[in-house]
């Protein structure tokens, strides 16, 4: 493990090295077949991992060496370069039944940059400050890069969350679960995906000891880097941050919020062009969320990019393509 934060990197490494569910392995194999030797890592995360279920859409991030190597299409490579990641839908028949997944392709370098403190891609560091499993890593170099980026995501989430807590004092006393609740609520807001506090709470309650350990290990890493000072007070942590530093961070967050929302909206619209055969997915998603069966015409089914936009517009309006 690296010298900067051995406890944090150890925690993240152990999480990523857990055995992946069989369903995730089948999907990862197909993803690797699609994108070939360019794939450095396939990472499983999200609600299906948290709930330990294959019912629903399994979420993956796929780290690649380069976009040109990952695609036969120059257009897809250009789109991925212009605004990473590209998002695709994958549905397969497997020995454990029909499996559905949504996976994002991003270069290892872009992924590392997206987990850092100054990144505008809030969704990436927010996702990977949470538990994930590396279904596949090509070699030790790929594993180290993934562990390092995930550890950076935890540090970024903690530092940003502390800066955004209400109040103007340099002294902050907070329970780890309260800090994560506030942090994740803020990041969902940037993504135009307002979630009920109870929904976010369920993420934390799924692994309360993990978030507690990640808080303390992450604060120790930030202290080692000279970003803050802190003390462990049992149920709470006591953090000292200069008032001016907090004020600057809050102004920067508010100033960048419209830009982050704009990037998220553009990325969402871009997903409609890269998602592939997205019409079956959005129909399934709508039916699952509304309980209504959605009928489409043959023209919409055969030419979704031309005639399927009313269906997609409904999905975007209900924020289901996420």
Question: For position 267, what pLDDT does the model report?
Answer: 75
Question: For position 3, what pLDDT does the model report?
Answer: 45
Question: For position 308, what pLDDT does the model report?
Answer: 56
How much is the pTM? 0.84
Question: For position 321, what pLDDT does the model report?
Answer: 47
Residue 94's SS3 state is strand
User: What domains can you pick out in the chain, each with its CATH number?
Assistant: 6-274 (3.30.460.10), 278-318 (no CATH)
| Centroid of chain to Cα 293 | 30
Per run of 10 residues, the mean pLDDT along the chain (length 322 residues) is 69 97 98 97 96 94 97 94 92 95 96 91 92 98 98 97 90 97 89 74 95 97 95 96 90 85 76 65 61 61 56 57 48
Question: For position 295, what pLDDT does the model report?
Answer: 64
Q: How far apart are the first and last CA of the chain?
A: 33
Question: For position 2, what pLDDT does the model report?
Answer: 39
Question: For position 313, what pLDDT does the model report?
Answer: 64
Please, is 212 exposed, middle or buried when counting C-beta atoms within 10 Å of its C-beta (0-12, 13-18, 19+)?
middle
Residue 164's SS3 state is helix
Whose structure tokens read 């800066």? 163
Question: For position 165, what pLDDT does the model report?
Answer: 93
């Amino acid at each position: 493990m690296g010298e900067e934060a051995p406890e944090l990197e150890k925690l993240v490494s152990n999480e990523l090295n857990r055995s992946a569910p069989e369903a995730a392995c089948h999907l990862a194999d197909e993803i690797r077949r699609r994108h070939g030797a360019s794939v450095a890592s396939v990472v499983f995360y999200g609600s299906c991992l948290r709930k330990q279920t294959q019912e629903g859409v399994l979420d993956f991030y796929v780290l690649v060496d380069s976009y040109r190597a990952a695609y036969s299409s120059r257009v897809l490579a250009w789109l991925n370069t212009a605004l990473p990641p590209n998002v695709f839908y994958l549905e397969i028949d497997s020995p454990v039944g029909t499996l559905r997944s949504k996976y994002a392709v991003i270069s290892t370098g872009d992924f590392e940059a997206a987990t850092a403190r100054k990144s505008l891609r809030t969704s990436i560091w927010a996702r990977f400050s949470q538990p994930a499993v590396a279904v596949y890593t090509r070699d030790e170099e790929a594993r180290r890069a993934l562990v390092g980026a995930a550890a950076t995501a935890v540090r970024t989430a903690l530092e940003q969350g502390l800066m955004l807590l209400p109040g103007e004092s340099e002294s902050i006393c907070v329970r780890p679960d309260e800090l994560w609740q506030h942090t994740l609520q803020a990041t969902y807001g940037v993504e135009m995906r307002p979630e009920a506090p109870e929904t976010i709470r369920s993420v934390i309650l799924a692994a309360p000891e993990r978030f507690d350990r990640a808080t303390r290990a992450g604060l120790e890493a930030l202290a080692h880097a000279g970003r803050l000072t802190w003390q462990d007070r049992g149920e709470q942590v006591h953090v000292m941050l200069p008032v001016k530093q907090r004020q600057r961070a809050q102004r920067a967050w508010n100033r960048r919020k419209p830009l982050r929302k704009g990037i998220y909206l553009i990325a969402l619209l871009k997903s409609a062009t890269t998602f592939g055969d997205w019409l079956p997915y959005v129909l399934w998603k709508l039916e699952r969320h509304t309980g209504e069966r959605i009928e489409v015409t043959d023209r919409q089914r055969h030419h979704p990019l031309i005639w399927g936009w009313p269906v997609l517009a409904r999905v975007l309006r209900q924020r289901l393509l996420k």
